[in-house]
Structure formats: structure tokens, C-alpha cells
Structure 1
Amino acid sequence: MGCDGGTIPKRHELVKGPKKVEKADKDAELVAQWNYCTLSQEILRRPIVACELGRLYNKDAVIEFLLDKSSEKALGKAASHIKSIKNVTELRLSDNPAWEGDKGNTKGDKHDDLQRARFICPVVGLEINGRHRFCFLRCCGCVFSERALKEIKAEVCHTCGAAFQEDDVIVLNGSKEDVEMLRKRMEDRRLRAKPGKKAKKAKAAESASKPDASEESPGPSKMKTGKPEETLDSGEKKTSSAPKSEAPSGSSSGKAGKPLCGASKRSIADSEESEAYKSLFTTHSSAKRSKEESAHWVTHTSYCF
């Protein structure tokens, strides 16, 4: 069996049992959740936003995702519930004065504490490193520890003074139970917002159609005001034409039968004008020629050859 020389094999060397399930390191998991963007896997940098499920993103990564929703991106499933930029809230974070960043370890001769966070709670002073539960207010975006909200109970934000309700409090990077609860709240909130959006669209359509209808068909006031103006104009014309027609009978006997400007047209041949005046028009007999007198001729222009 290969056990010469007095070696005693142990049981785990001879019997192969089931493989142990590999577990992720908790510290590495916390660093990935609180220091890196969920969508692009890059280091979080301001402006930092959070969705309604409590996940952290870089704002530019969310904008790029909304502009280019390609199915090839495997990480796009983490942000599939984000339909517009209104579904995320920009966070107001308080800087940690004890955080030096990469300045203190440029040469690599110093221990780099990964659990030290860049941001802290402005009320209690706890670091945002995943060891404590943190939440943000959806109405204003201020970030606090859950301990601060429980110890200092108030209906107003501790930093900006904005009023908030219980539904506005969203846990950052919560457990599976917290994510399920937040998802239900999100779905209920969006269902309540749908009727309001439909009502706004209907009002906008009505307001857009009303001015068009008023422009096409004038109102009754315009119709009523237009009629007396026409009657007045016609009355003025009648009164102005009346004194012209009422000429004295003895002034001109030959010109009494002249047609007025508003009367029906009459032929000049039937009028009582002189023959010299009638000969100026083509309807006079002197202007008409017989077939024998009329000549047959054709005009040629410069374009005819």
C-alpha cells in the first residue's frame, strides 16, 4: 500500500469526503459593497447615488447604463429596476477626518487598513464600513446610522431639517429580508404614482387641444360683434350712396340714366351718351369690320423658323 517504513496513514488521507463549500471572506465582501460601485465595479467617487433597494452606484455609471441598455452587460441585472435617473437619490455624505486615503501608503511600507471608511455618520460619528447599519432619507439624500435615528427620534432630518416619513428611510446594503421589504415598497410606490401620471397626461392633452379649438372656431362673442360692424358698414355705404343718386332733375337731363358704382352694369350702346363717346369702345358699330375688310395675316415671332 506504500506504507513501508512504519508510517501510519490517517483517515482523511485514505477516505475522500465531500468537498467543502467555499465561502467568501466577509471583510472582502464588505469592502466590495461599501467602496465599489455595484454597476461598474469601480471605486465609489462623488457624486454617489443610491437606488430604492439601498445599493450604491457612481452617478456617471447609472447615466451610461440608462443611455445604453445592452443585454451583453452581466452587471446590468443589478440595476434592472432603475428606469430613469429619478429612481436614484444623490447622497449627502460626511467626510471622515481620520481617513488619509492613499497619501500615507505611497511607498508600501505601511499597513493599509481596509476597514477605515471615507465617510462617517454626522450625528454619532460611526464609520460607514459595513460594521454598522446605515440608511439614507429618500426625500433629501442625507445618510445616517440606524443607531442615530433610533436614539434621536424626530420627524425632521438632523442636518437639513427636511420632513420625512417612515417610507422614506432606506437601508443601505441591507440583508435579503431588507431588500425584499424595500422592493415591495418600491412596487407599491410606483403603482400609486401611475394614476397620477395618467391624470397629468390627460390634463396636458386637454390644455393642448383647447387653444387649437379656439383658434379654428371663433367664439360667440366674436360672431356677435362682427354682425353689427357689417350692418354699420353697409348702412354707411347706403347713406353715402343715397345723396349721390338724389340729383336734381333739372341739373342734367342727359346724364340722368348713368349707372351708379353699386348698380348693375349696362351696355354703352344702350346708353344715352353721344356717338363720339360711344365710338371710343370696341362695341361700337364703327369698330366692327366686315369679312371683306378684315385682312388675313399671320405674325411670326423670332422663335419660329
Structure 2
Amino acid sequence: MGCDGGTIPKRHELVKGPKKVEKVDKNAELLAKWKFCALSQERLRRPIVSCELGRLYNKDVVIEYLLDKSAERPNADAVAHIRGTKDIKELNLTDNPEWEGERRNAKGDIYEDIHRGMFICPVVGLEMNGKHRFCYLQTCGCVFSERALKEVKTEICHKCGDPFEDDNIIVLNGTKEEVEKQREKMEERRAKAKTKKSKKTKAAESESTPAASKGAAKPPPADTAGRSSMLNGDGSSQSAVAGPSGSSSSSKSSKSSTSSATKRSIQDLEEKSEAFKSLFTTHSSAKRSKDQMSNWVTHTPYHF
């Protein structure tokens, strides 16, 4: 069967075979990882930060994400493990003097080397373009090539002099296996940090509870102790609980009771004479009737 014009279709035009697997261009992949932000896909510009998995971001983009996580972003999975600014580290990068960037003249036909890196290793001088493995230190954020760390073995940073350990080294844009290993290390560090926080909180609670128990074990004040003992009718318990203050208060109360008792019974004492008894107001001579009582008179009366 033919089409218009007498053309005869061939077999590969009618029968569709299996689709060919599209191969990712390595150069494009390197450009996307080492020259563009992993979240916004914009060109990297200072300040540049990295996470614990070794991905590169623009700092302002990550801060915008942390401020508003509800906003829809195409590459939100790349920053799902970032909880705050403590999970990222600003990188201390060394500029490549041969990289012109936007400074070069774009007029005319100029060959542009896509493998030219914006930054280099300060020790060996290798370009940070994806062909060489680079890593950074979590302590200070300085970036070096892996070759420099292997050739010049030291426990001090080559650039700023801060000490570091092997666990502080994080590979930038590593392979899938390396990313999984770094993710496991990240989870271990976070778990250790949680245990430390829980221990600190428990220690603070244990310190506060003995102080509260000591405050609760203090004896009640003398007044309350005396009142409770008076209600119970136990004088000995008052002296034992209240201490010296309780004993002084009990002695005062006993003196007042004895003095009142003597005042009330002074007239009944047969040993005392009538002259002595007449000195007190309780004597019969001190009592007067209503007829004997005079009215109140002012010194300067006024009559209107």
C-alpha cells in the first residue's frame, strides 16, 4: 500500500521498536552539580554553603527555604534533610585566577571552556570542575582537593590552621554510595546530639528536685508549731518542734497566766491585809454606785 505520491513506507516507519535509553551527558551533569545551586538551579554565587551530604547551594536560597517551607519548589527533596542554619556550612573557597566569568568580553566568537572551574584547591591548584574530587572541613569550611589531603597529611587545616579530625571531612558531590554513607554519619551525629541534650535535661531536673525536697523538709515556723501543739494540747511537742523560740513563747504565756491568776485571787488571800488589798481596783472600796458617779463636765462650756 502506498501514500500520496506513490511512496512506500518502510518497516521501521510502521513498527515501533523499544525506546533507546537516553544517556546523560557527563559534561552537563558536571555543570549542574559544580556550577549551579542544587535547589534553585541558579548559577552559584558567593556566599556558597554546603550540607552534610556535600551538595552546593546559594546561601540566600536556603534561608528563603527555611523561612517558608510550605512554598512549592521543584527540588525540595535536595534540602529535606536541612532543619536549620546549623545543618549547613558556609564554604571558604579559593578563586581561580584564570576564570574570567562575567568579566570577559562576550562580543564576537570566543571559545568558552565549560570545564574551567570558578574555584581551585589552594594547596595543589586543581580546578574545582568535577574532574577531581573535592571535600570541605566541617570545623572551618575550607575546601581542598582530596589529593592535597592525601599527599600532605596533617591534623591542622592547610588554609586557616584550625584542627580537625577525619570525621569532619565531607566529600562534595560524591557518588550515591558516598552520599548514603554520609547520610548514615549525619543520622548518627544527630542521634548523639539528642542523647546529650536528654542527659543534660535529666541532670538539670535531678539538681532541681533535691533543692525542692530540701525546701519541703524545712520545719514549720514557731508560730504554726505552737498553734498546732496548742490545738493538740501537747506542750512537750511544742518545745521539741519549735526550738528556742517556742520555749521563750511558752515561758511568756505561763508568766501572763500566773500574773492574771494572782490579780484575780488577790482579794481572796487571807495572808494580805485590808490596806494592801485596798490598793487594787478589785477592792470593794474602789467600786462606786451610779449615784456616786459624777457626770462629764467640760472646762470651757459653750452655750448657743
Q: Residues of 2 paired with 1:235 and 1:106: CA distance?
A: 107
Match of 1:191 in 2: 191
Contact 1:105–1:111 under 8 Å retained in 2 = no
Change (3 A) 1:178 1:220: same
Provide the residue aligned with 2:163 in structure 1. 163
The CA deviation string for residues 6-64 of structure 1, in whole angstroms up to 9 with x for no partner, is x9x99977876444322232222212111222122223233322111111122333333
**Relative to structure 2, which stretch is displaced further, 15-24 or 125-134?**
15-24
- Hey, what does 2:56 align to over in structure 1? 56
- Opposite residue 129 of structure 2, the aligned amino acid is N
Q: What's the CA shift string for 1:94-140, capped at 9, x where partnerless?
A: 22233333122354664444332222111111121111100111222
AA at the equivalent of 1:139:
T
Contact 1:96 1:117 in 2 (8 A): yes
Aligned-pair identity (%): 51
Q: What is the root-mean-square deviation in Å for CA atoms of aligned residues?
A: 4.5
Cα contact 1:105–1:112 (8 A) shared by 2 = no
CA shift in 2, pair 1:256/1:229, >3 Å: same
Q: 1:130 matched to which residue of 2?
A: 130
Q: 1:41 to 1:101 in 2, by over 3 A?
A: same
- Is 1:228 paired with 2:244? yes
Separation in 1, partners of 2:59, 2:128: 19
Partner of 1:118: 118
Q: In 1, distance between residues paired with 2:45 and 2:256?
A: 86
Q: Are the structure 2 counterparts of residues 75 and 14 from structure 1 closer, same or farther at C-alpha, using a change threshold of 3 Å?
A: closer
Q: What is the match of residue 149 of structure 1? A: 149
TM-score (structure 2 length as normaliser): 0.67
Aligned equivalents of 2:33 and 2:50: distance in 1? 12
- The letter of the residue matching 1:129 is N
Distance 1:186 1:240, change over 3 A: same
Once the two structures are TM-superposed, the CA of residue 236 in structure 1 deviates from its matched residue by: 7.8
Matching residue of 1:22: 22
In the superposition, relative to structure 1, how do residues 117 and 221 fare at CA in structure 2: closer, same or farther (>3 Å)?
farther
- Report the 3-state secondary structure (helix = DSSP H, G, I; strand = E; otherwise coil) of the residue aligned with 2:196: helix
Q: Secondary structure at the match of 1:102?
A: helix
* Greater Cα shift, 73-82 or 146-155: 73-82
1:71 and 1:164, CA in 2 relative to 1: closer, same or farther beyond 3 A?
same
Q: Letter of the aligned partner of 1:84 in structure 2?
A: G
Distance 2:208 2:108 in 1: 66
Query: In the alignment, what sits opposite 1:93?
Result: 93
Query: Could you list the runs of 5+ residues in structure 2 that have no partner in the other structure?
Result: 223-239, 264-271, 296-304
Counterpart amino acid of residue 228 in structure 1 = P
In structure 2, C-alpha distance between the alignment counterparts of 1:273 and 1:113, rounded to whole Å: 129
- For residues 136 and 80 of structure 2, what CA distance do their matches in structure 1 show? 21
Amino acid at match of 1:192: K
Unaligned runs of 5+ in 1: 259-269, 281-285, 287-305
Per the alignment, do residues 157 and 238 of structure 1 end up closer, same or farther by CA in structure 2, a change over 3 Å counting?
Answer: farther
Moved more, 108-117 or 177-186: 108-117
Paired letter, 1:87: D
Do residues 45 (structure 1) and 45 (structure 2) align?
A: yes
- Indicate the residue corresponding to 1:178 in structure 2: 178
1:73 match = 73
> In 2, distance between residues paired with 1:236 and 1:13?
122
Q: What secondary structure sits across from 1:192 in the alignment?
A: helix
Deviation at 1:184, TM superposition (A): 2.3
Where 1:57 maps in the other structure, the secondary structure is strand
Question: By how many angstroms is 1:233 displaced?
Answer: 6.6
In 2: Cα distance, 1:192 partner to 1:271 partner: 94
Alpha-carbon distance change, 101 to 68 in structure 1, aligned in 2, over 3 angstroms? same
- Residues in 1 aligned to 2:176 and 2:285: alpha-carbon distance in whole angstroms: 112
**1:76: how far off?**
1.5
Q: Count residues in correspondence.
A: 264
In structure 2, what is the equivalent of residue 303 of structure 1?
Answer: none
